[in-house]
Structure 1
């Protein structure tokens, strides 16, 4: 066998190992995390002047100097510290999968571990909605006779129960008890399940939707035909939940809002009403108290009031 053939076989083996490591890493992430990490890995690949599908890129040929250069290149393009650190985490995730499967050298893995995180704390992402904005969203849905009933129920669960958009998409009719108002979240982040007893307002909107939807099994929020009829076999996905809220925000005449903005609103309102932070954590389905604290927007209102009254 000549040198050219040997080199080609070696390259094919490297690509196969890299694909296994990439797949192993991504498959162990939640669907939403998988999408974002793939996007960041794609950016890292472009900075390394790689082209083609992610699965065909030689990830396990990366060494300390290359990863450090990717970090420096992201910094030069003024990427936010959080974006840089998350990109490094994605690269480390792939290389760790290669290391643990015996396909990546231990010494290089140790060196890459020493690459520091980018310091800096970004401004809080997203926003909280006011009570009047939530009411305007629901009113905009009421004015739509085709999809409005379903969308209002979705917005009610986002605002009054703090569900993630992926949780909205995965919940089934059988997960909700009309009698007790209990909703079981079976596919929470990190596969953590939780039970919620919905407040009266959320139950009202759900009752209206279930009356229109019917009691057929399947996803609680299915797709609708142009005539407003339910297709029980097709559930909404997270991106569609995001899109419908953007459309309803425009129709309501409020600033653009996302499902996570309503989740921030839910946590903030709980804390404003005197609920302790650990209970708020449990209701939101967070694992760490620090995560719940990031959703607390009470300080922004206090800061605005302080500056409004400031004078010499």
Structure 2
């Protein structure tokens, strides 16, 4: 039995016409003095630009599945429980992982809540949507932890570079490996983020939460080489762009630039494929391998939950590999 719905706003059959969404800014509606719809109101309430970008993309995809051109034109207030369940089934059939589908569900529930708050959805319909259960199941964790030899190769590649980029890249990669920072956190660092007395970095992470990232001696040394011999002590971004001709600027790098730099250094050093987040996974695995407890690693990484921290542990793969190698037929 389906839920009662004002279906004249929504197609009776969901349309899986396109899964390619484009990022839109919910703030543009405010700047243009346009009324917000529930999805835009939900996006504005998210804590970070990265979250807004991700959820905006997901809601654009959903709007197109429902037969609308974009999230701004979708009649979110007419969503009902059977629409949500149909969307989840279609996302599952498209091969998306359970965790990804549940992120879609979270965005839809948040949008439904805004529709209810704006009196565009009745209480019973809203409650039925909130009662939709998350999809069960899991997939193998993506990414990997770097081996010690690969880490040495990366730093050797940077140290052999006599240009200004060498010390900068070495310091940046050291912060990611030795402090477990996300690439967006790295690019947000300023020179003022260095706390000399604590030998730490003041990091602003997801949810606008600040934490201290204490630097191992090797990280501290590379930061000092970059700032004392090349960058200088001026205010501004800690890691800056370097233009052609080895000209150091005080322009902030982008997260995409971090991705490009690691890709370039990885190729030069001859190690296997890896992404910036793999450096964060390496940090977590090394901390746990050194005997640190999950609570300590969670706090160091800026996670809200230990469950999230556990997903970064890549020691289990190696343990299973060693166990398999002992089998002899």
Same fold, judged at TM 0.5 (above)? yes
Contact 1:27/1:34 (<8 A) preserved: yes
Residue 238 (structure 1) aligns with: 255
Relative to its length, the structure with more helix (as a share) is 1
Q: 5 Å matches for 1:220-231?
A: 220-231=238-249
Q: 1:129 aligns with which of 146, 166, 190?
A: 146
Match of 2:234 in 1: 216
Counterpart check, 1:43 vs 2:61: yes
SS class of match (1:184) = strand
Can you list the C-alpha shifts for 1:262-282, whole angstroms capped at 9, x where unaligned? 111101101111112211111
Q: Does 1:79 align with 2:96?
A: yes
1:102 aligned to 2:119? yes
- Structure 1 match to 2:282: 265
User: Judging changes above 3 Å, is the alpha-carbon distance between structure 1 residues 243 and 26 closer, same or farther for their aligned structure 2 residues?
Assistant: farther
1:32 to 43, 50, 71: 50
Q: Partners of 1:183 and 1:125 in 2: how far apart? A: 28
CA distance in 1, matches of 2:97, 2:262: 26
Retained in 2: the 8 A contact 1:222–1:235? Answer: yes
In the alignment, which residue of structure 1 is the partner of 2:317? 300
Is the 8 Å Cα contact of residues 112 and 129 (structure 2) preserved in structure 1? no
Contact residue 146 and residue 227 of structure 1 kept, 8 A: no
CA contact (8 A) 2:297 2:309 kept: yes
**TM-score using structure 2 length:** 0.84
> 2:184 aligned with 1:166, yes or no?
yes
What is the Cα deviation at residue 179 of structure 1? Answer: 5.4
2:30: which partner in 1? none
Aligned equivalents of 1:94, 1:237: Cα separation in 2: 30
CA RMSD of aligned residues (A): 1.9
TM-score, length of structure 1 as denominator length: 0.88
1:290, distance to aligned residue in structure 2 (A): 1.4
1:195-214 to 2 correspondences below 5 Å:
195-211=212-228, 212-214=230-232
Q: Which residue of 1 aligns with 2:82?
A: 65
Match of 2:171 in 1: 153
Deviations 1:20-55 (A, max 9, x none): 422222123212222221222222122212214x33
Match of 1:210, SS state, is: helix
Q: Give ranges in structure 2 of 5+ residues lacking alignment.
A: 1-8, 10-33
- Inter-partner Cα distance in structure 2 for 1:98 and 1:246: 43
Matched residue SS, 2:195: coil
